[in-house]
Amino acid sequence: MNAGTPPPRRMRADAHRNYQRLLTEAAAAFAEHGADFSLEAIARRAGVANGTLYGHFPTRRALLEALMGDRMRALAATGAELLTARSPFDGLVTWARAAMAHTTIYRGLGATLMQAVEDESSELHAACKAVLAAGEKLLARARTAGEVRPDVTAPDLYALINAAAWAGEQSSPPQGERLLTFGLNGFRTSATDQALPLPKLTPAPK
């Protein structure tokens, strides 16, 4: 039932009940209205005071982690399984599509995931890093097989997945899938013929 990191052990009974109600309402509200939905309204719907919400989840990210942490770790595990796919590139593609579908569960989630992977203080940081690492392994295998350009990085893959999810939210889901497809095709070695020079990633400016 609980989809994320477990709450502190041995909560008082009423605290546990409030915790669960908040999670349930947040999941419904985020699914319907996006990950930016009012925390105040979520507390209201759960029948608790706003201070209670902040007591359990000090930030919006903490709430999202409780909701999605397990799902993200499952996504990373799926990536590990796909390392045995017959074609390394197909495995990469299958996983990238699953990752994009995951980003789409709550509208507006992509921005949070992009920031969390670079922000160590984010409650979602660990989960995002696990997803990034899973992508890196799939990428490395496809690279070794010569199916993917040698200069494609895990952050490239991570950014593509989230950006395509974003585009799908802005216009239509198929548009997002098309963007993901073009990007993945751009990763391929065959695209290296006459390929454009690739801007180099400098370490984060600040």
Partner DNA sequence: ACCTGAACACCGTTCAAGT
Contacts with DNA by CB under 7 A lie at 8, 11-12, 14-15, 18-19, 38-41, 48-52, 54-56, 58-60
CA dist., res. 19 & res. 25, Å (int): 10
Instruction: Say how many Å lie between the first and final Cα of the chain, rounded.
Output: 41
Minimum distance, C-beta of residue 31 to its own copies, in the bound complex (Å)? 17
| CB 130 to its own copies: min, Å | 18
Are 81 and 51 spatial neighbours (Cβ–Cβ below 8 Å)? Answer: no
Nearer to DNA, 54 or 74 (CB): 54
For 62, the token pair is: 């903490």
Q: Round to whole Å and give the CA distance between 78 and 179.
A: 22
Name the residue nearer to DNA (CB basis): 29 or 180. Answer: 29
Phi, psi (deg, nearest 5) at residue 148: -130, 145
Q: Which of 44, 115, 132, 140 binds its own copies (CB under 8 A)?
A: 115
CB 79 within 8 A of CB 137: yes
For the window 125-164, what string marks contact with its own copies as x by the rule CB under 8 A?
A: ---------------------------x--xx--xx-xxx
Near its own copies by CB under 8 A: residue from 118, 134, 144, 145: 118
Check residue 25 for interaction with its own copies (CB under 8 A).
no
- If the CB atoms of residues 2 and 153 are measured against its own copies, the closer one turns out to be 153
* Segment 187 to 206, residues that bind its own copies, using CB under 8 A: 187-188, 190-191, 193-202, 204-205
Amino acid identity, position 13: A
Question: In which region does residue 172 sit, left (phi positive, over 0), alpha (psi from -120 to 50) or beta (all else)?
Answer: beta
3 state SS of 171 = coil
39 or 148, CB closer to DNA?
39
56 three-state secondary structure? helix
120: phi then psi, degrees, rounded to nearest 5? -65, -20
Write out the residues near its own copies by the rule CB under 8 A. 93, 110-111, 114-115, 118, 152, 155-156, 159-160, 162-164, 166-167, 170-172, 174-175, 177-179, 181-188, 190-191, 193-202, 204-205
